[in-house]
Each structure stands twice: as structure tokens, then as C-alpha cells.
Amino acid sequence: MKYFIVTYGCQMNVHESEKIAAILEDLGYIEGKTREEADIIVFNTCAIREGAEDRLLGNVGNLKKLKKRNKNLIIAVCGCMTQKAQTAKKLMDTFPFIDIVLGTFNLPQLGEFIKKVRNGRQLEILQEGDIDEFLPYKRTSGDNAWVNIMQGCNNFCTYCIVPYVKGREKSRKEENILNEIKSIIAEKKYKKITLLGQNVNSYGKDLEPPVTFSKLLKDICELDGDFVLSFMTSHPKDLTDDVIDIIAQEDKIEKYIHLPAQSGNDRILQLMNRKYTREKYLSIIEKIREKIPNCRITSDFIVGFPSETENEFQDTYSLVEKVRFDSIFAFMYSPREGTAASKMDGQISEDVKHERVNKLLLLEKRIQEEDNKR
């Protein structure tokens, strides 16, 4: 019996697909190379942008013929997109050949639902769940081992669906994280360990007693072993001086910080509910460059946020020009149902969004060419 997993979205989803693979292999499945040879196909979905949802719908729709040829094929859909109950029901109604639809917090139950599927189609969406401390993984990312340290988000940026599909911030116990990393080191297969969370800088605030992210980094670096430590993603409002200091001091920590700015204009940042200003963001960049001169810095930007004027976009353009990031990820604003920004006045046309995102990416290309020549 073979399985095939299709993953959309961020590194956390890639890591969750490693959990899915472990669950399936525990049931006796082995990994297949194609959808055509699979006995179960699992889609691990993303809800951040509309494009990811559209691609999923197209890919699922294409399986209708496959299901006709193989009546025993199991098709399961899980992840962020299916955490929205309305979307999950729509999937079941639109594609009657889907067997299982599970929400974000139901992932540990996937094996149980596969066993039940012969009794009929399965749909379940838990509204909240505890963080999985001990779910096994089949690591598939080469010499990099992902380690989830927390899940969820408390920030409620007005454009973002994550708090609604991932829930509030929940941190894993430090002891369990350290034990997992010790086992990774003992395997001697992984050169890099990457800590994951929607906002890693908030790690440990919900624990009793609280643990800071800088303490976790320091304690990991004190473990014996030859590895490079990295993490993603940071929120500018929570990237504290002690975290910058520990990155500067510890040889095991990669000199790299991904620090999403999203905009260079204060009014837009306020509308986004980002809780920092352009000046504050630039002061953090200055601290990083002062304490870690060789640090690679990358960022995310959203263009065409509701009511963004051309002059406000130019503030984003000038921020990229001033900081000269090592690379950026630039996205056109995509309205997500249920978020505050989707109801805002002044939605920007697709043509204007395309024009602005292309300008930003051309600027990035010019900066990289200049830096490469230097």
C-alpha cells in the first residue's frame, strides 16, 4: 500500500507533512512516487493566499478520473484551509469523491480516520487543540531537521488568517524540545536544525514558569554536537536585544534573520496592526548590523494593501532601497474572508498590485546585482 502527500504553503506545513508521512508509515503504507500508484493521497493545505486554495481545488478536481479507476483510493484533505468549517463543508459537497477532511488540530487523528473511512466519509474540525509534543516524523528535508517549538499566533494582523486556523500561541515545553534535538544530534544525519513557529520570538511566554526565546537558543547551543541552528519566523515587535545578542555570541547559530516588514509606511503598518513603525523597524536593522555585521537579512512585503496610495507604496520601495536586504518575498495583497482587511474600504485593483509588486522585485534584482558585483 502506497501513499502520496501534496504539500502547500510554509515550512511548518512541510514539517507537518513529515508527521503525516510517519502516521501513514505506522499504518503500513510506503511512500509512492506518483499519484497514479498511490492507495492514499493526502493534501496538506494552506490558507494564507487565495492562489494556494485555487491550486488545491484544481488538483483535487483532477483526481476524479483516478478515483473512478481505483474505487479503493482514499483521498484526504487536511491543514489550514480545511480548518475553516465553511470551506471544509464546501470541499465535501463539491467533490463527493473526497473521503476525509480534517482541520488543523485533527492531524494526530489521521490514522484513526483512515481506519474508519470504509464505514463512510469522514469530516471533523476541532476548534482548538493542544500542541503535539511527541508526534513522530519521517524527516524528508535532507540534512536539515525541522523542530516545531510552538504553534498559533496572537498578533491578529488584519490581513492574516493564521490566528483563525492555527489558534492562539502555544509553546512546547523546553525539556521536550531539547530532548528532540538531542535525538536529532544522536542520529548524526543532520547538519542543520531549524526551529519553527509562526512567531518564534514569542516562545515561552505562555509556559509556567515562562521561558524566553533567547534562553531556549542558549540552552540548545550548549548541547554537544556539530550542527548549525536556525529559526523562522521573527516578528519585529518581539525581536528583543537579548535574541540579537545570543545570535551574535553563539557560533552554532546561523547569522541569518528573516524579519518581515510588510510595509514601509506608518499608516499602512497601523492598518495592518503590525504594532511597530518604520523608524522602529529601521532601528532593529541597525542593531542587527551593528552587533552581527555579517548577518543575512531577508524580509516579506505586501503591496496593494487596502487604501495604499502610490506615495505610501514609495515608502515601502525606499525602505527596501535603504536596508538592501539579501532577498525579499513580495506579495500582492490577497483578501482572506474573515479578516479585518477584507472588509476595509479602498481595495486596490489587480493591475496596480501587479505594477507595484513588479517594481519591488525589479529593485531587489538591481540591489542583488550590485551586491554581487561588489
**Mean pLDDT lowest among 84-88, 199-203, 260-264, 343-347:** 84-88
Structural domains counted in the chain: 3
pLDDT of residue 127 exceeding 90, the answer is no
Does some domain include residue 132? no
Mean pLDDT of all residues in 330-341: 93
pLDDT of residue 340 exceeding 80, the answer is yes
Q: Do residues 180 and 241 share a domain?
A: yes
Band (pLDDT 50/70/90 cuts) for residue 361 is very high
CA-to-CA separations, 185 to 22, 135, 208, 311, in angstroms, rounded: 19, 18, 27, 50
Element (H, E) at 193: strand 192-196
pTM of the model: 0.89
pLDDT at 322: 98
Mean pLDDT of all residues in 18-46: 94
Mean pLDDT of all residues in 245-252: 97
Top pLDDT among 169 and 121 is at 169
pLDDT of residue 126 exceeding 80, the answer is no
Q: Looking up cell 467533490, which residue turns up?
A: 95
Of 254, 282, 311, the position where a domain reaches its end is: 254
pLDDT at 128: 66
pLDDT at 201: 95
Burial class of residue 328 in the structure, from the number of CB atoms within 10 Å of its CB (0-12 exposed, 13-18 middle, 19+ buried): buried
Does some domain include residue 286? yes
Contact 9, 80 (CB under 8 A): yes
Whole-number mean pLDDT of the chain? 93
Give me the CATH number covering residue 319.
Answer: 3.30.750.200
Q: Do residues 22 and 33 share a domain?
A: yes
> DSSP alpha helices (H): ranges in the chain?
11-26, 50-61, 64-69, 80-83, 85-94, 110-116, 162-166, 174-187, 213-221, 241-249, 266-272, 278-291, 310-323, 350-373
**Mean pLDDT lowest among 81-95, 224-238, 252-266:** 81-95
**Domain range spanning residue 271?**
256-374
**Mean pLDDT lowest among 101-110, 210-219, 341-350:** 101-110
Contacts of 75 (CB under 8 A, 6+ apart): 40, 41, 43, 60, 63, 67, 95, 97, 98, 99, 100
Helix (H, G, I), strand (E, B) or coil at 62: coil
Q: Between vectors from CA 210 to CA 242 and to CA 289, what angle results, nearest 5°?
A: 15
* Cα distance between residue 5 and residue 20, in whole Å: 8
Q: Do residues 19 and 75 share a domain?
A: yes
Q: Do residues 175 and 191 share a domain?
A: yes
Q: Do residues 282 and 264 share a domain?
A: yes
pLDDT of residue 199 exceeding 80, the answer is yes
Does some domain include residue 248? yes
pLDDT at 23: 94
DSSP symbols for 123-183 = EE--S-----SS------STTEEEEE-EE--S---TT--HHHHH-S-EEPPHHHHHHHHHH
pLDDT of residue 122 exceeding 90, the answer is no
Contacts of 58 (CB under 8 A, 6+ apart): none
Q: Do residues 277 and 215 share a domain?
A: no
Does some domain include residue 347? yes
Q: Do residues 157 and 90 share a domain?
A: no
Q: Do residues 342 and 329 share a domain?
A: yes
Contact 201, 213 (CB under 8 A): yes
Of 75, 98, 124, the position where a domain reaches its end is: 124
* Cα distance between residue 166 and residue 151, in whole Å: 7
**Mean pLDDT lowest among 117-126, 194-203, 253-262, 266-275:** 117-126
Does some domain include residue 72? yes
Q: pLDDT above 90 covers what percent of the chain? A: 75
Band (pLDDT 50/70/90 cuts) for residue 129 is low
* Cα distance between residue 371 and residue 47, in whole Å: 35
Phi and psi angles of residue 44, each rounded to the nearest 5 degrees, phi first? -105, 110
Q: Do residues 78 and 118 share a domain?
A: yes
Does some domain include residue 57? yes
* Cα distance between residue 79 and residue 105, in whole Å: 8
Of 237, 254, 271, the position where a domain reaches its end is: 254
Q: Do residues 324 and 270 share a domain?
A: yes
pLDDT of residue 11 exceeding 70, the answer is yes
pLDDT at 241: 96
Q: Do residues 170 and 190 share a domain?
A: yes
Does some domain include residue 130? no
Does some domain include residue 129? no
**Mean pLDDT lowest among 3-17, 107-121, 233-247:** 107-121
Give me the CATH number covering residue 177.
Answer: 3.30.750.210
pLDDT at 221: 98
pLDDT of residue 220 exceeding 90, the answer is yes
Lateral strand order in the sheet of 256-258: 256-258, 296-303, 327-332
* Cα distance between residue 334 and residue 327, in whole Å: 21
pLDDT at 132: 72
Q: Do residues 231 and 294 share a domain?
A: no
